[in-house]
Structure 1
Amino acid sequence: MSGMTANTESISKVATKKPVNPFWYKIRRNPLTLFGLFLLLLILLASIFAPLISSYDPTKINITQRFAPPSGDHWFGTDEVGRDIFTRILYGARLSLGVGVAVVFGAGLIGTVIGAISGYFGGKLDQIIMRLMDIVLAFPSLVLAMAVAATLGPNLQNAMLAIAIIKIPVYVRLARAETLALREKLFVKAAVTFGIKPWRIIARHIIPNALSPVVIQVTLDIGDAILLVATLGFLGLGAQPPTPEWGAMISIGWKYLLDYWWYPTFPGLALFLASCGFNLIGDGIRDILDPKANR
């Protein structure tokens, strides 16, 4: 009887034990993904609490402190007009991360909707949409982004639009491919048989089931978008001075690399860590959501 009681108690404990989230369990088993998550959380928290971490104004000029080397007063040194580089990197993280995430999520949303419509309806509409996407994809992404940003004018908003334009076709093709497979599924055909309107089928049955590859692509694209924002800023087609943006800081700082190494080095390091963090997380999510991915 005592043995049966012990077994009953052990079974009861197992039954009442909180189930483990398989998604979080797989992430914990991947040290590189955890490292990427740690990097991004560190950068994100530093940018959010920038006013508490640093008392300097990121745009205030102080000529008497120009090109001050890294020290206790200025951890990453100062730039050509005496602004604290560490402070500008903290505030620049808000802009770079925010723009990268906003652009990719916006492009992913628009591209997924267009791709689902194209794949579901097919016919001439599908051909027109896909030929337009092929035209965009025919150009090198950076060259097209530069052309669009230069045509619209050098500012951050136009740079965001340019990056979104070159990202949308990727999501259109992904969503279309998933939709072509999903529209042959029994639950979609059943919805058509019951007379449900096509737009409702797309919104409630197609898009939710086509999100897995889109989510993977989004996580991988954010790092690339941050690099593109920095590249356009480096070329003078993105954020304009005195806005604290990593690419713009590197654009000015590289001229002083030999004499004042800290000026371009620390913004470049911040850009590298942010991009690396998103790529590591993207790889981890891909391994979890994509059963065909092999490492």
Structure 2
Amino acid sequence: MEQTILPKSQTIKNNPFWYKLKQNKMTWVGIIILGVIVLFSFLVPFISPYNPDKIDLVNKFMPPSADHWFGTDEVGRDIFTRIFYGARLSLGVGLLVIAIASLIGIVIGSISGYIGGVVDTIIMRFVDMVLAFPSLILAMALAAVLGPNLQNAMIAIAIVKVPVYIRLARAEALGLKEKLFVKAAETFGIGKGIILIKHIIPNAIAPVIIQATLDVGDTILLIATLGFLGLGAQPPTPEWGAMISIGWTYLLTYWWYPVFPGVFLFLAAGALNLIGDGIRDVLDPKSAR
């Protein structure tokens, strides 16, 4: 049986998402880097014989070697092991915070844009108030007020991120409520709640997804920053920012301690930004040629 080879134009038409994604080489660089980090984070219990929290003062500040690939810290814990256990925490928390913030944002933003009136005014004044502060300063203040731990740091960052998604969803809802299919639903007497759930929110998702993919890397950096400042994960939790916070004081004598967590923080954030850029190019209609 002869194999039918579709012309390039037909391939693009049948599967435009994967075609555009394959064309973006930098996106695949990000996918590969992130994939390697995620893979090692799951394999680390089988690769490394060390417990990430076990203290071994006899082997403290050991340089990188065959026994300890990335060296050890001030209490003898294996840095390689802690970095990849920390990858689970940093990546998981980053994704969870953005998922929660984007979900809350799209619901509130859609309500604000579609309902309008006093509801819209109250919501947007709150959004304007939050966005008036630099995101890092506000996250630091909220984390300090709530208390220095990882859960409160997550809440603080989510509060900082939500207004961005509210604005995006509101802008989409303002346009969608003037569309013919929404006007037709209103004419037939369908309730505003049903219209929101079935028409407004599903059609407002695309720009929120694009922003969310771009925000994951920034969120991981914020989590690490709060950890570095002592407002995030607390010792002995193997979180990258907390590791750098302690390790940087030993930079001139035991360089491997802060350098390796910093390198992986940079790689993860950079990879997520590359992936976010690629997904934006695929999903954003304005990027189509």
Q: TM-score, normalised by structure 2?
A: 0.95
Shift of 1:196: 1.2
Cα deviation code 1:203-253 (max 9, x no counterpart): 111111111110100000000000000000000000000000000000000
**Aligned partners of 1:233, 1:196: CA distance in 2, in Å?**
49
Structure 1 stretch displaced more, 195-204 or 243-252: 195-204
CA RMSD in angstroms comes to 1.6
Q: 1:27 aligns with which of 12, 16, 21?
A: 21
Shift of 1:257: 0.3
Shift of 1:14: 4.8
Partner of 1:266: 260
Partner of 1:75: 69
The one-letter code of the counterpart of 1:186 is L
Partner of 1:166: 160
1:51 partnered with 2:42: no
1:282 partnered with 2:276: yes
**Aligned partners of 2:37, 2:196: CA distance in 1, in Å?**
38
The one-letter code of the counterpart of 1:213 is P
Shift of 1:293: 3.9
Q: TM-score, normalised by structure 1?
A: 0.93
Gap regions ≥5 residues in structure 2: none
**Aligned partners of 2:138, 2:288: CA distance in 1, in Å?**
33
Q: 1:198 aligns with which of 192, 195, 200?
A: 192
Q: Secondary structure at the match of 1:292?
A: helix
* Counterparts of residues 1-295 of structure 1 (less than 5 Å): 13-14=4-5, 21-293=15-287
Cα deviation code 1:135-194 (max 9, x no counterpart): 001111111101100001000000000000000000000000000000000011111111
Structure 1 vs Structure 2: percent identity of aligned residues? 68
Shift of 1:13: 2.8
The one-letter code of the counterpart of 2:103 is L
Larger radius of gyration: 1
**Aligned partners of 1:144, 1:137: CA distance in 2, in Å?**
9
Shift of 1:294: 8.4
**Aligned partners of 1:206, 1:154: CA distance in 2, in Å?**
38
Structure 1 stretch displaced more, 89-98 or 40-49: 40-49
Q: Secondary structure at the match of 2:278?
A: helix
**Aligned partners of 1:140, 1:22: CA distance in 2, in Å?**
38
Q: How many residues align?
A: 284
**Aligned partners of 1:116, 1:253: CA distance in 2, in Å?**
45
Shift of 1:79: 0.3
Partner of 1:4: none
Gap regions ≥5 residues in structure 1: 1-8
